[in-house]
Amino acid sequence: MKIKKLILTLLFIPLMIVCNSRVVFSAELSINLVALNPSETEEKEIDVKYLLPKELEPSDVLDSGELKVEYDVDKMLYFVSGKVKFNPKESKTFKIRVNDVWNITPEEISVLKQNMDGNLSLMEGNPQVYDNAKRERDKIFEQLDIIQAQQQSYVDNIERRIEQYRAYSGIVEKIRKKIYDPNFLEKEVQVDQQEDEGKTIKFVLQVKNPSNVEEKTIKHKHFLPDEIREEHIIDKQGFDIRFDDKKGKSYLLKEEKFTPGEEKKYEVVMRDIWRFPVNKLDPMEKRAQVAIEEMKDSAYAASGQYLFDNLMKNIELIRETQNAELPPDKHIGIFRTNEKRYEDVKQSVERIEQMLSIVRAKKLEELEGSKVKNVLKRLQALRGLQALSEAIFKKGITVTMTWRIIGGCIAFIAFFTAYHFFLWARRSSKMADDSPLKPGEEIKVVPKPTPPTKHS
């Protein structure tokens, strides 16, 4: 019998440990793989193969029994497989013990929160920045609390917990990057657009019974935009909110009866999360302006100006388009386009700052080089003195000899100065003694001689 006729079913069995009256996640789970030989008369050796969930690595497989763990290069997944003999109509269950990797542990959430609080404490000296950063911190904490609460709510349903884990894995990874970046709060935080927090957007869904003569039970699902998760839905109209891992989207699921030809309309209300905070652009613009101003006379001036002009163009486009009132589909489209534009702006700013760091390093190198040249000149002067010493004394100058030369020079200058001062004092005294004034005698003014005339 061909492998495609082999009936395989997968059962997830959740394990729980009760500790201090609290339900916590087990470190292990069991995947039960059931294989059946559909032939009623033939004994068969069948290739049993099962692709493991994408989150599992070989080290997470604790016991695969008689099956071996291998890797599928094309699908980029690990799998368990083996050749197994089956009697006619025989079914076998293969138990695979694996680590429970489908949860964000309370310990990690606690560490993430502590690290974020540490980053926030560094900004306490700046009240305006601190207030904005604290609001950003509170938003991240709210997301972590939602994720943790959902894990607890699905502790008895491992399938739903895995589904929710996959729905939030990308969000958690973004949170990790933000928290472990010490400059995130300083560079990225912005003033909240509090006036937009209460805004909602409405999705209208219509479902109709295709039969005009027969009542039918219809199970219908509707995919939501990529960014939407369960906490964003305000009025779900009785739908169950699930997540499709392959498409990476949440969807609404409902099963209900429709009378013949009946058409039902649903208005699902959700938070409008597609409003780009345009004031995030202000710090980016300031960083770019500071950098381009400092490097305007450098070798990178032209390329830096090119990047600056492009990022400023994107900034203006974001500001112009994001505030426009548009229908839901266009509103979401503009938001996604502006998200890409913002990433381009960030990348351009980082490139300009990298150029600036090279320019600063070059200036520092030149400054250090000039200092080195001065030192070299002084060393050259000392070498000249050493050469003169060797020419006179036929040997290198010692430290003692150096101090003797310096002392001799100082003594000579002192003697020379004292000698000339003594001579000047004697001459001044003699000139004063030659014609002293008598008591009461007036100083006579000698008239200035008149110049001779032309006739004399």
Strand partners, 34: 9, 93
Among the ranges given (3-12, 48-57, 266-275, 401-410), the one the predictor scored with the smallest mean pLDDT: 3-12
Beta bridge partners of 98: 29, 61
**Which of residues 136, 160, 192 is at a domain's end?**
192
**13-17, 39-43, 149-153, 276-280 — which is least confidently predicted?**
13-17
Q: Which pLDDT value is given to residue 120?
A: 86
| Domain contains 248 | yes
pLDDT beyond 70 at 13:
no
**Helix/strand/coil (H, E, C) string of the chain?**
CCHHHCEEEEEEECCEEEECCEEEECCEEEEEEEEECCCCCCCEEEEEEEECCCCCCHHHEEECCCCEEEEECCCCEEEEEEEEEECCCCEEEEEEEEECCCCCCHHHHHHHHHHHHHHHHCCCCCHHHHHHHHHHHHHHHHHHHHHHHHHHHCCCCHHHHHHHHHHHHHHHHHHHHHHCCCCHHHHHCCCCCHHHCCCEEEEEEEEECCCCCCCEEEEEEEECCCCCCHHHEEECCCCEEEEECCCCEEEEEEEEEECCCCEEEEEEEEECCCCCCHHHHHHHHHHHHHHHHHCCCCCCHHHHHHHHHHHHHHHHHHHHHHCCCCCHHHHHHHHHHHHHHHHHHHHHHHHHHHHHHHHHHHHHHHHHHHHHHHHHHHHHHHHHHHHHHHHHHCCCCCHHHHHHHHHHHHHHHHHHHHHHHHHHHHHHHHHHHHCCCCCCCCCCCCCCCCCCCCCC
Q: Given a cut of 80, is residue 108 above it in pLDDT?
A: yes
pLDDT for 437 equals 47
Instruction: Please tell me the distance from the alpha carbon of residue 21 to that of residue 292, in angstroms, as a whole number.
Output: 61
Report pLDDT for 199.
86
Instruction: With respect to residue 332, please indicate whether it lies within any of the assigned structural domains.
Output: yes
Residues 205 and 159 occupy one common structural domain: no
In this structure, the answer to whether residues 28 and 91 fall within a common structural domain is yes
The pLDDT tens digits for 251-292 are 999 999 999 999 999 999 999 999 888 888 988 999 999 999
**Confidence (pLDDT) at 193:** 47
pLDDT at residue 15 tops 60 = no
Is 242 a residue whose pLDDT tops 90?
yes
pLDDT confidence bin for 156, thresholds 50/70/90 = confident
Percent of the chain with pLDDT over 90: 37
Residue 408 is predicted with a pLDDT of: 78
CA-based nearest residue to 302, from 266, 259, 264, 352:
352
Checking if the pLDDT of 1 tops 50, the result is no
pLDDT in tens, 166-207: 999 888 998 998 888 877 776 655 544 444 567 889 999 999
Q: Are residues 333 and 230 in the same domain?
A: no
226, 244 contact by CB (below 8 A): no
Task: Say if 443 falls within a structural domain.
Answer: no
The Cα 253–Cα 233 span in angstroms is 13
What CATH number is associated with residue 8?
A: 2.60.40
71: exposed, middle or buried (Cβ count in 10 Å: 0-12, 13-18, 19+): exposed
The answer, yes or no, to whether residue 208 has pLDDT greater than 90, is yes
Q: Residue 26: is its pLDDT beyond 90? A: no
Mean per-residue pLDDT of the chain = 80
Q: Which domain holds residue 327?
A: 274-411
Q: Is residue 159 located within the same domain as residue 216?
A: no
Average pLDDT over residues 101-110: 89
Considering the domain architecture, whether residues 316 and 398 belong to the same structural domain is answered as: yes
Pick 430 or 322 by higher pLDDT.
322
Examine the domain organization and report whether 344 and 390 are in the same domain. yes
Last residue of a domain, one of 144, 166, 192: 192
Pick from 117, 76, 78: which is nearest to 101 by CA?
78
Q: Is residue 431 part of a domain?
A: no
Tell me what the mean pLDDT of segment 12-32 comes to. Answer: 48
Q: What is the pLDDT of residue 244?
A: 92
Asked if 405 contacts 389 with a C-beta cutoff of 8 angstroms, the reply is no
Are 260 and 282 contained in the same domain? no
| Nearest C-alpha neighbor of 35 from the set 57, 65, 56 | 65
In the structure, what pLDDT confidence band is assigned to residue 219 with cuts at 50, 70 and 90? very high
Q: 128: alpha, beta or left, given left = phi > 0 and alpha = psi -120 to 50?
A: alpha
Contact 34, 92 (CB under 8 A): yes
Domain boundary among 133, 166, 192: 192
- Please indicate, yes or no, whether residues 144 and 243 belong to a single structural domain of this protein: no
**42-51, 363-372, 392-401, 429-438: the lowest-pLDDT one:** 429-438
Task: Domain count for the chain, please give it.
Answer: 4
Q: Is 440 part of a structural domain of the chain?
A: no
Question: Same domain, yes or no, for 280 and 399?
Answer: yes
Q: What are the backbone dihedrals phi and psi of residue 198, each rounded to the nearest 5 degrees, phi first?
A: -90, 0
Residue burial 265-283, b: 16+ Cβ < 10 Å; e: rest? ebebebbbebbbebebbee
Residue 8 confidence (pLDDT)? 38
Q: End-to-end alpha-carbon separation of the chain, Å?
A: 152
Domain shared by 283 and 371, yes or no: yes
Q: Say if 388 falls within a structural domain.
A: yes
The answer to whether position 416 is within a domain reads: no
Q: Are residues 288 and 382 in the same domain?
A: yes
Confidence of residue 217 (pLDDT cuts 50, 70, 90): very high
100, 25 in Cβ contact below 8 A? yes
Q: What integer pLDDT is reported at residue 423 of this predicted model?
A: 73
- Identify whether 16 is part of a domain: yes
**Does one domain contain both 405 and 279?**
yes
**What digits encode the pLDDT tens for the residues 51-69?**
999 999 999 999 999 999 9
Higher pLDDT, 97 or 22: 97
